[in-house]
């Protein structure tokens, strides 16, 4: 059995910031879905995505007096205010994470990997530190997958790491991946 390195206070702070950010993003998604659900119940559809709803919401609230009751307009306006407040809080936490990221050499190194940005690199450093506890990269992948299983970790951790893996993979254009594979093939 492998001994896990004790997290430093800085790692625990960074991990706490990530947990708070993740909770805020989940709450924002819930508010957006609730707004969209109320609008759909009244027969008002908006194109999928956050930006189309954000752009259409002021027009919907001001021009659909016959479809939306004054109470519903007030309720959706309050939800839109909650949405803006959550956006501000997410931005504040993200800025704080990025400020800590600029001070950490390991995060800077991780950001040189294609598809790994500030949030992913700081989440990895917060979770594993400098990675000295792993003999090879494959061990780190196993740890993430092991944490992703419900028997070894809660659903929140599973969703968090799966989401980060998908975000990292989506951030790398296919030609870059092909070029990397060719380069690794030529090196071997």
Query: pLDDT tens-digit profile of 115-150?
Result: 788 888 888 888 777 677 777 777 777 766 655 444
Q: How far is CA 118 from CA 8, 102, 114, in A?
A: 19, 9, 12
Q: Which of these three, 100, 131, 148, is where a domain ends?
A: 100
Q: What are the two backbone dihedrals, phi and then psi, of residue 158, each rounded to the nearest 5 degrees?
A: -60, -50
Check whether residue 29 and residue 96 sit in a common domain. yes
On whether residue 47 sits in a domain, the answer given is: yes
Contacts (Cβ under 8 Å, ≥6 apart) of 161: 144, 147, 148
On whether residue 3 sits in a domain, the answer given is: no
Check whether residue 70 and residue 121 sit in a common domain. no
On whether residue 65 sits in a domain, the answer given is: yes
Q: Residue 143: which domain range?
A: 103-188
Q: Which of these three, 78, 100, 122, is where a domain ends?
A: 100
CA distance 103 to 106: 9
Check whether residue 84 and residue 26 sit in a common domain. yes
Check whether residue 125 and residue 87 sit in a common domain. no
How confident is the model over 64-93, as pLDDT tens digits?
667 888 899 999 999 999 999 999 999 999
Check whether residue 107 and residue 139 sit in a common domain. yes
Which pair of structure tokens corresponds to residue 127?
Answer: 């979770």
Quick check: pTM over 0.95? no
How confident is the model over 30-66, as pLDDT tens digits?
999 999 999 999 999 999 889 999 999 999 988 866 7
CA distance 31 to 121: 28
Check whether residue 90 and residue 109 sit in a common domain. no
pLDDT beyond 50 at 94: yes
pLDDT tier at 167, thresholds 50, 70, 90: low
What per-residue confidence (pLDDT) applies to 156?
55
What per-residue confidence (pLDDT) applies to 186?
47
Which pair of structure tokens corresponds to residue 152?
Answer: 């070894």
Check whether residue 94 and residue 144 sit in a common domain. no
What per-residue confidence (pLDDT) applies to 185?
43
Nearest Cα to Cα of residue 37 among 25, 53, 52? 53
Phi-psi region of 114 (alpha: psi -120 to 50; beta: other; left: phi over 0): beta
Check whether residue 114 and residue 164 sit in a common domain. yes
DSSP-assigned letters across all residues of the chain:
-PPPPPPPHHHHHHHHHHHHHHHHHHHHHHHHHHHHHHHHHTT----SSHHHHHHHHHHHHHH-TTTS-HHHHHHHHHHHHHHHHHHHHHHHHHHHHHHHHHT-HHHHHHTTSTT--HHHHHHHHHHHTTSTT-SSHHHHHHHHHHHHSTTTS-HHHHHHHHHHHHHHHHTS-HHHHHHHHHHHHHH-
Check whether residue 94 and residue 110 sit in a common domain. no
Check whether residue 133 and residue 88 sit in a common domain. no
Domain count for the chain:
2
Q: Which of these three, 82, 100, 118, is where a domain ends?
A: 100
């Amino acid at each position: 059995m492998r001994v896990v390195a004790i997290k430093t206070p800085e790692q625990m702070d960074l991990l706490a910031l990530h947990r708070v950010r993740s909770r805020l993003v989940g709450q924002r998604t819930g508010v957006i879905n609730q707004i969209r659900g109320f609008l759909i119940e009244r027969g008002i559809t908006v194109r999928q995505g956050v930006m189309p709803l954000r752009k259409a919401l002021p027009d919907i609230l001001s021009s659909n007096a016959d479809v939306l009751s004054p109470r519903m307009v007030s309720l959706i306006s309050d939800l839109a205010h909650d949405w803006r407040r959550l956006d501000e809080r997410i931005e504040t936490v993200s800025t704080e994470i990025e400020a800590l990221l600029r001070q950490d050499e390991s995060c800077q190194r991780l950001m040189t990997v294609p598809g790994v940005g500030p949030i992913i690199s700081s989440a990895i450093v917060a979770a594993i530190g400098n990675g000295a506890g792993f003999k090879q990269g494959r061990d780190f992948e196993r740890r993430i997958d092991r944490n992703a299983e419900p028997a070894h970790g809660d659903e929140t951790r599973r969703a968090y790491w799966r989401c980060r893996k998908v975000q990292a993979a989506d951030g790398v254009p296919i030609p870059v991946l092909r070029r990397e594979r060719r380069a690794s093939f030529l090196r071997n």
